[in-house]
Every structure is written in structure tokens, then in C-alpha cells.
DNA sequence: ATAGAATATTCCTGTAAAGGAATATTTTGA
DNA sequence: TCAAAATATTCCTTTACAGGAATATTCTAT
């Protein structure tokens, strides 16, 4: 699992941008307006999201339209799924572990 | 969606710890050994994971056994699901947006 | 009570990242 | 070609965070 997506989403403004773009593509100015950020910071955050592959640009005339790239979200989903049975059940392996501590079992 | 979980998972060592603990509870020393980190940094990262609610402690004698708390992962899963249809289809709303730009439709 | 094991915390330092302000760049429209 | 709009980048400053080393804390066992 690539850590970059977590890093990109760890910033509140960027998470807001992603949630906004999930509803549809937008140009920079409108993102800034809707989220009440100023333009330079918006561009900077979009750059980070771009680098993380969460977003892509489509230049149209004067504007730059940003939209979500689903791949990283799919990857995150796959990661969660691969561990789902572990964190869903979580059948207290704690008891087993206590046995290990008491020498009844061995640790790998 | 709380940003704290992303922030906690944005550090490679911490992501490793989480993936390790998903397979079962472990005490600090063993985590450090398995991930080849030294003990103080391990404790520090565990603290961050604790604060983020991703992990909980169970003191047993001398040791402290850490284990996964599934709630934040469930929350993350719910977040992904709530947007799934958006990023899965992504039916190019770009065309719609281009119409907006040309004044054929209006923006909210 | 005390030594020792396991773990947590503190102090220090370097580095990365975020916001503000200013400026550069790109593209359009005339 | 030129002014203006939209966006990106740079510079600066402040803050947060990570690792290393040392030390404090907590608990056990004797």
C-alpha cells in the first residue's frame, strides 16, 4: 500500500477538494470559491493531489479543469478489503497471545 | 471524514505497524523487532496510532499489548462506499462541465 | 526494598510542509 | 501585438513532525 495517498488526504483542505471533485470536475477558481480558499494555495494543494495521482488536469482554454482519478481510491479499497476479515472479526486473538506470553505457544 | 486517520497512516512505519497488528496483537518489543525499528520510536508511533483511535493498549504485567481498533477502518470503508458510485462510474461529467463553461448550463 | 526488564517520555536537531504575499506564466480576445 | 483573466510558482516565515540519544517510569520477581 502506497503511503502517498494517505499523505495527500491528511490535509483537511485537500480532503475537501477531493470530496468536492468527486461530485464532478471543476476549474481552479471555482474550487477556491466553493471552499473559501485563495487561489495560490488551491493550486498548490491541487499539485500535491496531482502528484499523488488522485486528480488530473484537463486544460480548456484559459482554465484548468481538475477531476478525480479513481485509481488510488480503488487501491485503497482493495487494501481495506484485503484486511477486512481481520479487522471485522478481530476474534480476540488476544487470548491466544496471552498463552504465548506464558510459554504455552511459540512466537514466529 | 476525520483527517486524523489519514495523518496517522501517512507515515510508512506506522502503516507497517498497523498491517502487522492486523494479524494479531503484539507487545512493543516484538513490534520493534519485527519491523527493525528501535523501541522509543516504536512507542512514539504507537502513541500516534493510539491518539488516532487505530490501536488500543492492554497492559499485561510488564508488557503492553497493542491491538487494532477496527472503528476507524470501518469509518474509512464507509467513506469510500459513500463515494463509490461517483469514482467508479465517473461517467465523464467533463462534457457537462464544458457546456457549463460555454454558458449552456449554470453552475450552482 | 531493590535490581532488572519493558515501555514511555524528553530534549535536541534537521527537515518538510503550509499559509501569505508577490510575481511569473499562459491563454484569450480584441 | 497587447491587456486582462486564470492559474502556477517562488520566496519567506512559522510550525509540525521524525529520528537519535538519553532518561524516566512502571512493573515483576526475588
Segment-wise mean pLDDT, segments of 10 residues, chain B, 108 residues: 97 98 96 97 97 95 93 96 83 55 46
pTM given for the model: 0.86
Nearest to A12 among B3, B60, B101 (CB): B3
**DSSP 8-state code for residue B24:** -
Span A86-97, average pLDDT:
64
For every residue of A41-71, DSSP letters joined together read: HHHHHHHHHHHTTSEEEEEETTEEEEEE-SH
Q: What is the pLDDT of residue A98?
A: 57
Residue A68 contacts B, CB cutoff 8 Å: yes
- Contact between chains at A68 and B58 (C-beta distance less than 8 A): no
- Contact between chains at B22 and A63 (C-beta distance less than 8 A): no
Confidence of residue A68 (pLDDT cuts 50, 70, 90): very high
Q: What is the pLDDT of residue A65?
A: 96
Confidence of residue A49 (pLDDT cuts 50, 70, 90): very high
**pLDDT at residue A61 tops 90:** no
Amino acid at each position: 500500500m502506497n503511503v502517498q495517498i494517505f499523505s495527500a488526504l491528511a490535509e483537511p483542505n485537500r480532503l475537501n477538494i477531493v470530496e468536492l471533485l468527486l461530485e464532478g470536475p471543476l476549474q481552479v477558481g471555482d474550487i477556491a470559491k466553493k471552499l473559501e480558499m485563495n487561489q495560490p494555495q488551491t493550486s498548490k494543494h491541487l499539485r500535491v493531489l496531482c502528484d499523488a495521482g488522485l486528480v488530473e488536469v484537463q486544460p480548456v482554454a484559459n482554465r484548468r479543469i481538475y477531476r478525480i482519478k479513481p485509481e488510488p481510491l480503488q487501491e485503497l479499497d482493495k487494501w481495506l478489503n484485503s484486511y477486512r476479515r481481520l479487522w471485522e472479526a478481530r476474534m480476540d486473538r488476544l487470548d491466544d497471545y496471552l498463552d504465548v506470553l506464558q510459554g504455552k505457544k511459540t512466537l514466529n
